[in-house]
Each structure stands twice: as C-alpha cells, then as structure tokens.
A = this chain, B = another copy of it.
Amino acid sequence: MVRNRVTLKDVARRAGVSYQTVSKLLNHQIRLPEETERRIWQAVEELGYTPHYNARSLRAQRSFTIGYSWPPSPPDETNPILDQFLQSMFVAAEARGYYLLMFPYHYQVDKQLATYAELIDTGRVDGFILSSVEYNDPRIRYLQERKFPFVAFGRSNPDWHFPCIDVDGGKGLYEVTCHLIALGHRRIAALAWPENSRVGNNRLEGYLIALREANIPVNATWILRGEGRLDFGYRATHHLLNLPSQQRPTALVALNDYMAIGAMQAAQERGLRVGEDLAISGFDDIPLARYLTPPLTSLRQPIWEIGQQVIERLIDLIETGQFPEPQCQLVPPTLIVRASTDPNAKASTGSYSPSTKEVING
C-alpha cells in the first residue's frame, strides 16, 4: 500500500497551529516561540512531510538537475563562449523543468571523480554535461562505468562511443585554408596546440586536407605547437619571420584567436602589414576580433545551438534511457572573413563595424 502524501495541513493539525503558521515557518518567513517551532518541526519529522520539490523528486526518483563543471580560463584571457553556452543551457533546461548545478573543476583526477561520485551518490543530479573533453578523458570512463547519463560538448577517443556534440573544427580550418589558397597563398603556417590536444588535432586535420587537395606539400617547419596563448602566438610568429625569405610563410592560420592576436603583434612589430604582407586567421571569433587593427578573420562556433542541443539530448537520455542518434553530432563553424586575411573584405557582421579602411588608416 502506498501511503498518501502528507500535506502541510496534516502538519498543522498535528502541531496544533494554523496552516499559515507552518507555511511561514518552513519558508523562513517568521520566527515563533521556541516551543512552537519545536512542535512544528517534530510534526514535520513524525509525519515525514517533504516539501514539494523533494516530493516530486522522490516520486520520480530524479533531481531534475543537471551537473556542469568547466576548467577556469587563464587569468589574462576571457572564455569567449562561456556566457552564451551557460545561458543557452539553462534556458533549454528550464523549458523542460530542469536546473543546472555548477561545481568546481578539479584538475587532480581522483578529486575530480570524487566530485562526480558524490553528486551521483547523493542523488543531486540526473546527468552531466561535459566540456573541454580530451583523449582518455577519465570523466567519460567513470560515467560510462556507472552507466550514468551524460552528453559531451566535444569528442574523445575515436573508438569510444558516447553521446556528444562537437564543432567541426576540421571543416573550419579546411575552409579558412582554402580561402587563403584562393587568395594565392602557398606558404601557409599553422599555430597549433600540442599533439595530445584532441581539439587541436581535429582542427589541424582540416588545414592538412586543404593543403593536400591543392597539391601543396606540408612543410613541418611551418607547423608550430604550443599552449594556445597570446604569448606563444607572438613568439612562434617571430620565429617564422626569422626564416630565410624564400621559406617565410605569407599566411598563417592560428587555432584560436589569442594566438592570432599574438601573431598580429609580432608581425606589426616588424613593420609588416597584417592582411597584405602576412595574412592571419584565428578561431572562436571573440567579440573583440572585429575591432582589432586590422579586424581578424576567424571561425565562429554556433554556441547557442550547441547549448540547446546538449541539454535536449541529455534530458531525452535521462527520461527515455535511449541513446540519441546520431551518437555524435558535428556542427560546422562559420568563416568570418575580415581584413587580416583579405584587405578588401567588407565590414564584418555585427551591430557596429568600422570599415576596414578607416581602422587601418587610424
């Protein structure tokens, strides 16, 4: 026999006070004489009264909560997609009656997995969104072992199967490299991440394919790898510009905007005109990219769409137990051509954009 749900009225009757009094106390709206408060709490416990959320949660054996954690950005960079990604996710979650729970990202694997374990074991969340996914990601292995629902923004090992959505960074790099080839460039360098970077390899692949298709031999000295930071882009570009003139690249694709900005600064220090003497492109289309001098060609990720999709897929998975199809969904980034690769580029998209010419002459 399933017991009837205990209501606030039952608590009030047992404690010998009014419904309003109980409601206000439980909502922290009043303080009552100690003895009265004690009597009400005792009635709450004896009757096993649970407030609405806990009741819904117990009925459904769910928390209607999704966990999300992400690594902090370095102090001198802003995570260009974080706000939009979070907003998109919790708007999508709210539409289906869920909320997002945030928790710290621990770099130490044991501590990281302990956090996931605690959230699962205490019934705090029904599933997780993962991002900044890498090869052999321990979170994926752990959640798969626990058979706990999650959806990743990002791919991992090619032979691992789990629901994910990813930006097709390779397609983006392919497009921007083709754009540079079409402008006549043959010596195109790449500022990339270390070889163990999953995102970096996905992106670099597109650059390599574009060169191969155009029968341009890949030159290993033009592929420089480092931390995806502004200062690496700056140093790597100085290094490239120190090559003998016949080997010096005329164009450069950076796997993110910060490296591209460092590259622009190095080129400008040497008196080169970015976009004319050296073409430079980035990735992410950070808000300031269009306002740089010259404005930066970049690749924009459809972050709002991705936020909506990861949540939709996760809630479907939580509620149906069915893996979504296709298991991994790839969405292409959009190439935004500006004067850093093409001096004739029209004003970029956006509410305000000075014409290329004005800014260059400034």
Q: Are A46 and B362 in contact (CB under 8 A)?
A: no
Q: Are B46 and A1 in contact (CB under 8 A)?
A: yes
A80 within 8 A of partner (CB)? yes
Stretch at the interface among A24-32, A183-191, A240-248: A24-32
- Chain A residues numbered 76-129 whose CB sits less than 8 Å from any CB in chain B: 76-80, 82-84, 86-87, 90-91, 94, 99-105, 115, 120-124
Q: Are B358 and A269 in contact (CB under 8 A)?
A: yes
A82 to B28, CA, bound (A): 30
Q: Are B28 and A352 in contact (CB under 8 A)?
A: no
- Given the interface contacts A77-B287, A78-B78, A230-B291, does A91 sit within 8 Å of B120 by beta carbon? no
Contact pick for A2, options B26, B46, B102, B124, CB 8 Å = B46
A273 to B48, CA, bound (A): 73
A57 within 8 A of partner (CB)? yes
A58 to B50, CA, bound (A): 7
A33 within 8 A of partner (CB)? no
Q: Are B122 and A361 in contact (CB under 8 A)?
A: no
Q: Are B146 and A76 in contact (CB under 8 A)?
A: no
Contacts of A73 in B (CB 8 A): 83
A53 to B261, CA, bound (A): 47
- Given A82-B82, A101-B102, A269-B362, 16 more A-B residue pairs with CB atoms under 8 Å apart are A28-B146, A48-B48, A50-B58, A75-B287, A75-B350, A76-B290, A76-B350, A77-B287, A78-B78, A100-B102, A100-B103, A234-B352, A234-B354, A265-B291, A268-B293, A271-B362
The chain A residues found within 8 Å of chain B, CB to CB, are 1-3, 26-30, 41-42, 44-46, 48, 50-54, 56-58, 61, 63, 65, 72-73, 75-80, 82-84, 86-87, 90-91, 94, 99-105, 115, 120-124, 146-149, 229-231, 234, 261-262, 265, 268-269, 271, 286-288, 290-291, 293, 350-352, 354, 358-359, 361-362
